[in-house]
Structure 1
Amino acid sequence: MNGDKPYLKRVLGFRDLSFFLIAALVNLNSVPVVASAGPVALILWLSGFVFFFIPQAIAVLEFSKRSPHEGGIYNWNKAAWGDFHGFISGWAYWVNNIFYIPTLLFYIIGFLAYIIGNSTSSLSSSPVLMMSISLGLLWILTYLNIRGFGVGKWVQNLGASGTFITASTILVIGIITASTKGSSVTFSMSSVFSSLDNWTFLSLLSVVCLNYVGLELGSVIADEVKEPQKNIPKAVLVAGTSTILMFLVVTTALLISIPFEEIGIIEGILQGIERAAEAIGIGWIVFPVAVFMIMNAAGNTSAWLSGAARIPFVIGIDRYLPSALGTVHPKHNTPHVALIVQGVASSFVIIVAAIGSSVGDMYMFLLQTTVVLQLIPYVYMFAALIKVRSTYGKSGGFFSNKFVTVIAGFIGGGMTIFGIAFAFVPSANISAILVYEIKLVFSCVSFLIPAFVFYRINLRKLKVSEVIN
């Protein structure tokens, strides 16, 4: 302990932080959702990278230099807009992950079905089975992260390694398939623009934005990073470059290997690999790739599970959430209460999502709810980037040129707002549109209302405490 402030161990070096960010950012399992749009998917990835990811990187570099402390985006928004808006952005960031973590668990289950065999093909089409296994996996990962980054980081490191191996394998299969069997899709301007006449593809733009969030996690866990002002910028560069390359490579290889109309949104990558591998006589490779995909999904889940829990931990220290959330484990020096509460909340979401839904609708509902809640803090962050730079100038910042940060704020903020709006556009994968829209609106509103209640109650308690003391 350091006074009354909870003490967190600095255990993540440059390599560990780079792997942590790659594990969080590169969710290969979501590639089929975007690739199902066809060749236009490549334009979506590039557009998201230019108009969202790069502005995000600029914001993270600028703010992490000015304030390299635990809490990251929550503290940035609080400093720029005040305690209330900081709390709302931090709440949305955390609650989003309560939804997002279950979607990642669904991927792991889908890949387990491939590994175990065809006798379990009903696994990825049964909401009850998906729910039961998801709950088990959730609490295993929660326990590992309660043990601390000294243990949990190996899940993320293995996840990043599995990501690189999987992407490389898919690239090789795509090249062999294209050279021996030909591509299942024609990459041309006409094939790209032919997809634009169906406006539902715009809903995928929000999914692309979601896949590009995560660079700020290095700052969210800053008090557990060695030399954060030095290592966070370097890790951001490595993770950012790796992210765009792997998304483009895997999407292209998947489109080559299987007609995009037949790509499944949950097990699509393995589906494409299996078909392509059998066609070129290496069907045996599906099993090891499935194992690596599980590593990728587990690392992705663990990174977000551990990183997101630091937000209620810091808010608990500020006393705008119950102070118990701001405590650390006496042995492992981790925010164990925040992790447990997050696990309980995600368990509730998994159970609710399984009610009255097909697995496909269940997955898309969770994914788009995640998009809306995740992007709210980014609206604040990009606006804060403009405000902070205009107010304080370059002193203490990363960039000497004001133009870079202001333009990044406007472009990133605009793209974020579009991403939120497009999340309410049902994709072609949705079978019950009305039910989907009602559940999406209800979920977003119902998880934001408690934020106002918690803030008002705890603000009143703080004022009373100040008067007494």
Structure 2
Amino acid sequence: MATTTTESSKGEVLRSERIAGGILSKVLNTFDLVAIFIAIVLFITNAPGIAAAGPVAYIYLVAGFLTFLIPGAIVVGQLGRMFPQEGSIYVWTNKAFGPFWGFFAGFCAWWPGIFVVMVCGSLVSTFISQLAGLFGLTILAEPWQLGLVILAVTAISFWLSAIRFRAAQNLVNIMFVLYGAAIVLIGIAGVAWLLSGHPGFTNMAVSGGGWAITFGSTGNFTIFGFVILALLGIEVPLNMGVEVTSERAVTRYLIWGTIVVMVAYLLTTFGIMTAVPSACPQVTATCLSSYVNTNPQTNLWAMVDAVHNGFGPAGLVLSVIVDLIMIGFGLYAALVYNYSFGRMLFVSGLDRRLPAAMSKVNAARVPWVAVLVQSIIIAVLAIAVYMVIPYTAASNAADRANLANLMYYILFASITVIWCISMIFQFIDIIVIRYKYHEEFADVRLAPDWVFYLCSIVGMLASGIGLYATVSAPWVPNLIEIGPWDIWIGAIVVVSLIAAAIIYFIGHARIKDDVTDEQVIAEAIGSAEKPDKVEIAEAVGSAEKPDKVE
């Protein structure tokens, strides 16, 4: 029977809710989801920036876990059990506030996600340069060279995102294990440094003043905001909700993923604080000449330095291994970001909020067009930021490098603000959905109602602090002052959100009510005939009422 639209007593059931599960394959188990969660949330390269605050960093980490990571996991667990469809926040906000706000919230989650692929390329370039530096070589010093690395990483992530999903996920799982081993090694490096008779480089005594929380332009409170930003992306694995093999996997990945993230950040912060100098007045065995008069703990590659210093004679070999794993992590994270955020475009294509081409899948039932479009956007940004503007707007090498860095950080901060906005939607969604779907909510409730109210309030406050941390001080104060920093961020955020609204209304105006689900499926899989293996009735049933979990 042809299906065009379905209305429930609570509102519209999206077409993507009904049919996405019949197009894509169920392949993701708990371990897969944990590996995806870690790639999204655990950018351990944030640890040096956190560790540089000194002992108070532990207070901010624990506070971030309690006010953002854990509340976010509880909220996502509840929403994921109620609506285990493709698209996560896109679907949840649609249930709470309707199609416009669903698309708007989905855009606020998607736009930052694809930019992170560019960040991953930058990380790969950084650790390749650091690896060469361990042997006295200098490479990838020009912005255009960094741009080429980002293009290569983007191309690799696209190619791997378009192959059979199970094969791609197996590669992700391997890198997840190696990444975890590197993190453990960084923590052990701190212990090894102490056991070898050296004192830790960071004074952990309460009397030393390092545990004090300070405010103002020179205070350390902005580190708390940085911690919040480092924990964004809790909901992303559920962008692939219909591809999960069991409903239990949703809560399990949130439990195990949250534990891994907390332990990893604490371990790495300890390793850096203990085995990496916090100041380098002169060249020593642990202070390279390039570190003199700086704080090496703030360097992106401080994790590699911790291993190099902590393991003595074996340090060079182990640090090379960790560096190689960090290069692999950049590729691993780029792959995960590209395929997981591509699902957002895929469901928008099914719902005709975006062109129908976005919903096309290949023979492996992977939405390759959506990932291709993302990859093209990333490539255009990389070419503009690293290969065109610096060489047309700056006259010497130093100015070109500074301009490229400044544009990168302005874009990064802007999309971070947008991502925080999407998280605020998520914390509001849970309260609205509790009222609109009270019976369904009660059937799969993970915790008492007061827990969700508390998580919502605390999570929104923490998201607000993340916003404040982004705009309260420039991330590169040596390149830009606070006024222009905020103006650029504000302009990019406003233009992005206006673009989201325009895209929605253009897509909404082009929706054809007489198009059947069967026609949409046939177009998605590239068949002119009605697919006989797609179980639309089952998809509709699961969209209207989630299965109960024992």
TM > 0.5: yes
Matches within 5 A, 1:22-421: 22-117=38-133, 118=135, 120-123=137-140, 125-179=141-195, 180-189=197-206, 190-193=209-212, 196=215, 198-199=217-218, 201-227=220-246, 229-260=247-278, 261-278=295-312, 282-329=315-362, 331-354=363-386, 355-356=389-390, 358=402, 360-393=405-438, 394-421=441-468
Quickly say closer, same or farther: Cα 1:274–1:197, change in 2 above 3 A. Answer: farther
1:272 Cα deviation after fit: 3.5
**TM-score normalized by the length of structure 1:** 0.91
Alpha-carbon contact 2:201-2:274 (below 8 Å) kept: yes
Alpha-carbon contact 1:19-1:157 (below 8 Å) kept: yes
Which of residues 432, 449, 461 in structure 1 aligns to 2:498? 449
1:285 Cα deviation after fit: 1.4
1:222 Cα deviation after fit: 1.2
AA aligned opposite 1:109: S
**What CA distance in whole angstroms lies between the structure 1 residues aligned with 2:455 and 2:496?**
29
Quickly say closer, same or farther: Cα 1:428–1:9, change in 2 above 3 A. Answer: closer
1:168 Cα deviation after fit: 1.2
Gaps of 5+ in 2: 4-14, 279-294, 391-400, 517-550
1:195 Cα deviation after fit: 5.5
Quickly say closer, same or farther: Cα 1:203–1:110, change in 2 above 3 A. Answer: same
Quickly say closer, same or farther: Cα 1:467–1:323, change in 2 above 3 A. Answer: closer
**TM-score normalized by the length of structure 2:** 0.78
Alpha-carbon contact 2:186-2:271 (below 8 Å) kept: yes
User: Deviations along 1:7-58, whole A, 9 cap, x unmatched?
Assistant: 0111122222222222322211221222232222222211111101111111
**What CA distance in whole angstroms lies between the structure 2 residues aligned with 1:191 and 1:468?**
64
**What CA distance in whole angstroms lies between the structure 1 residues aligned with 2:427 and 2:341?**
19
Alpha-carbon contact 2:239-2:340 (below 8 Å) kept: yes
Question: Hey, what does 1:425 align to over in structure 2?
Answer: 472
SS state at 1:351 partner:
helix
Alpha-carbon contact 1:103-1:366 (below 8 Å) kept: no
AA aligned opposite 2:318: I
Alpha-carbon contact 1:14-1:234 (below 8 Å) kept: yes
1:111 Cα deviation after fit: 1.3
**Which shifted more, 383-392 or 55-64?**
383-392
**What CA distance in whole angstroms lies between the structure 1 residues aligned with 2:126 and 2:515?**
56
Quickly say closer, same or farther: Cα 1:363–1:247, change in 2 above 3 A. Answer: farther
1:397 Cα deviation after fit: 3.1
Alpha-carbon contact 1:220-1:307 (below 8 Å) kept: yes
SS state at 2:211 partner:
helix
Identical-pair percentage = 21
AA aligned opposite 1:240: T
RMSD: 2.5
AA aligned opposite 2:370: A
**Which shifted more, 188-197 or 245-254?**
188-197
**What CA distance in whole angstroms lies between the structure 2 residues aligned with 1:121 and 1:290?**
16
Which of residues 6, 9, 14 in structure 1 aligns to 2:30? 14
1:429 Cα deviation after fit: 4.1
Alpha-carbon contact 1:184-1:257 (below 8 Å) kept: yes
**Which shifted more, 244-253 or 106-115?**
106-115
1:66 Cα deviation after fit: 0.6
Quickly say closer, same or farther: Cα 1:103–1:206, change in 2 above 3 A. Answer: farther
Alpha-carbon contact 1:313-1:327 (below 8 Å) kept: yes
**What CA distance in whole angstroms lies between the structure 1 residues aligned with 2:117 and 2:340?**
11
User: Deviations along 1:131-153, whole A, 9 cap, x unmatched?
Assistant: 11111111111110111322221
**What CA distance in whole angstroms lies between the structure 1 residues aligned with 2:460 and 2:422?**
10
User: Deviations along 1:356-400, whole A, 9 cap, x unmatched?
Assistant: 452654553343223212111111110111122234334233325
**What CA distance in whole angstroms lies between the structure 1 residues aligned with 2:204 and 2:411?**
31
Alpha-carbon contact 2:72-2:234 (below 8 Å) kept: yes
User: Deviations along 1:309-365, whole A, 9 cap, x unmatched?
Assistant: 111111111111112112212x12111111011111111222333344526545533
Quickly say closer, same or farther: Cα 1:250–1:195, change in 2 above 3 A. Answer: farther
Quickly say closer, same or farther: Cα 1:204–1:341, change in 2 above 3 A. Answer: farther
Alpha-carbon contact 1:10-1:224 (below 8 Å) kept: yes
**What CA distance in whole angstroms lies between the structure 1 residues aligned with 2:211 and 2:142?**
35
